[in-house]
Structure 1
């Protein structure tokens, strides 16, 4: 697969003071999120660690949502080496590493915070099988982080697929989230996040799905009557670097990066636990009439059973991303990755 930087990105690069040559003492880190979001906390902790380890000789400049283009744009900039680090959700890697969308499947990681963290940070399937797919597009996967459980917003109680009937739910635009809510019985409606509040307010869509901290920051709880915890999956952020650039670093600087990634992962984990709880408490205080629903094990099992059909969707998405000669191997690789993750989650549960 070949990729080129879209012509519209270059004005953004110039405005941001970037050049295609990396400055020796400044590393560039682009995030899909904004200040105060989980990926920002990761980036800030990473920058502080690098600064401290290098005695101030190396600085990390952080770029936020939209400053360098779309999520796909910043992945491309990292792949090309224009920037050194990038953080995006797994769903935004589809054009580069379609296999990464395995983490978008519901009920693969589930809702156990400790199991999720263990798998996302130590999984052999992720850091051996899946990471090799990153290398093929000149990216080195450094870590994955949970940003909190994906929670359903709605204007009615949803406890089984029949309750989703006729409900328009805002989803991300990629295939797997769209097909997920079709399988669950809803009408998925892809929208950019800036359109969601108005759509919920006008009831042109009935619900949405996101972590609690983001729901509160976007004020979507103001225009929903229910928040439902299905223990379905977390929002998974990925952190990658340009592989060729990293491999050319001196050994001591590679060690700095490794140490900084571990410190930033811990900071992001602690923050997402705290901010999701704090924002849930704020939602309850601001909207005492809003109903909080947690699905029972039996209720979750029905949705989990529905989600198994999406495994075939995942295989098809991966297969379709490759040329004809590579399709069979790509499909088998996708199957191996999914089965490996399911085994690891079961082993840690």
Structure 2
């Protein structure tokens, strides 16, 4: 199963990548594409991965920041084709290819505690076995998954309840469960490619979007919105994937190298994220002092949590397959992580 490359098929960039792949799946230069800029969280992770690989082998890693090779759908297909060896692929886009991955988009499922979250991604059998096996079926191999930061809403008007989102055209990634989430929250979900979001906010085509705070700051989304809301409903997740044929063709030594590099990058990015949200918020308020930041109370979050229950039910009913087992597995794995962190 593959996606459709809208802008890159037939271009010199794709031809060059495909040629490099064809000359040897285990080429010394491994190409790694991002959904973000090199100085954002995915870039920090990828740089650490690159440094580990190059310090411990003769291989080199070439990183392609967001926009270099198109949108996320494009780079995922390039990885499936083998033109890229590695790429980041968030569930917001991959949920169209592997529907069960939309569990990461369900509101109020992931733990809010950073230590519990970090433990969960590394130890969850549901992620690292059940969901990892789903990637194999679409020509990919799951290398790693990690959180990028609590998701916040940025809007033109204050948000303290679902009623405040009534009639708001809210940008979402093109995946059904994110559409269902914002519909349940009272908004009018509007799927848009990321490259169109700033202009759409600026021209009032949409009036809201969600992302981790560091991304709101680095992409200057605060310039075209007026209010930031912490509802505690999710943490942005991303995955590192590799072409399955490429990975299966690696020597045992190189497969171990990939795993070790991912472990080093994971540990680094978890530490890097400590205080990242707060630092980004401070930068936003320094650049735009009139920006309001609201942290919803438990009472204010209650109707959002109630709405979230119908989204979880739709996930089970509409995705089908292993959706129920995945959701139940998440709940069990998260509880084990809470117990483990509490016992440390």
TM-score, normalization: structure 2?
Answer: 0.90
Tell me how far apart the structure 2 counterparts of residues 273 and 90 of structure 1 sit (CA, whole Å).
23
8 Å Cα contact 1:16/1:68 also seen in 2: no
User: 1:74 matched to which residue of 2?
Assistant: 75
User: 2:327 matched to which residue of 1?
Assistant: 338
1:293-304 to 2 correspondence within 5 Å?
Answer: 293-304=294-305
8 Å Cα contact 1:43/1:62 also seen in 2: yes
1:86-235 to 2 correspondence within 5 Å?
Answer: 86-235=87-236
User: 2:48 matched to which residue of 1?
Assistant: 45
C-alpha distance 49-230 of structure 1, shift in aligned 2 (>3 A): same
8 Å Cα contact 1:16/1:67 also seen in 2: no
User: 1:322 matched to which residue of 2?
Assistant: none
User: 1:250 matched to which residue of 2?
Assistant: 251
Tell me the CA shift for residue 2 of structure 1.
Answer: 6.0
Deviation track 1:140-176 (CA, whole Å, cap 9, x = no partner) reads 2121111111101123322221222222222222211
User: 1:309 matched to which residue of 2?
Assistant: 310
Tell me the CA shift for residue 93 of structure 1.
Answer: 0.8
Return 5+ residue gaps in structure 1 as ranges: 320-329
User: 1:268 matched to which residue of 2?
Assistant: 269
Tell me how far apart the structure 2 counterparts of residues 140 and 128 of structure 1 sit (CA, whole Å).
11
8 Å Cα contact 1:13/1:19 also seen in 2: no
Tell me how far apart the structure 2 counterparts of residues 118 and 141 of structure 1 sit (CA, whole Å).
18
CA RMSD across the alignment:
2.2
More deviation, 239-248/40-49 = 239-248
8 Å Cα contact 2:26/2:249 also seen in 1: no
User: 1:9 matched to which residue of 2?
Assistant: 9
8 Å Cα contact 1:149/1:235 also seen in 2: yes
More deviation, 88-97/231-240 = 88-97
Tell me the CA shift for residue 316 of structure 1.
Answer: 4.7
Equivalent residue pairs, number: 335
Tell me the CA shift for residue 52 of structure 1.
Answer: 0.3
Tell me the CA shift for residue 186 of structure 1.
Answer: 1.1
8 Å Cα contact 2:30/2:60 also seen in 1: yes
TM-score, normalization: structure 1?
Answer: 0.88
Tell me how far apart the structure 2 counterparts of residues 299 and 211 of structure 1 sit (CA, whole Å).
20
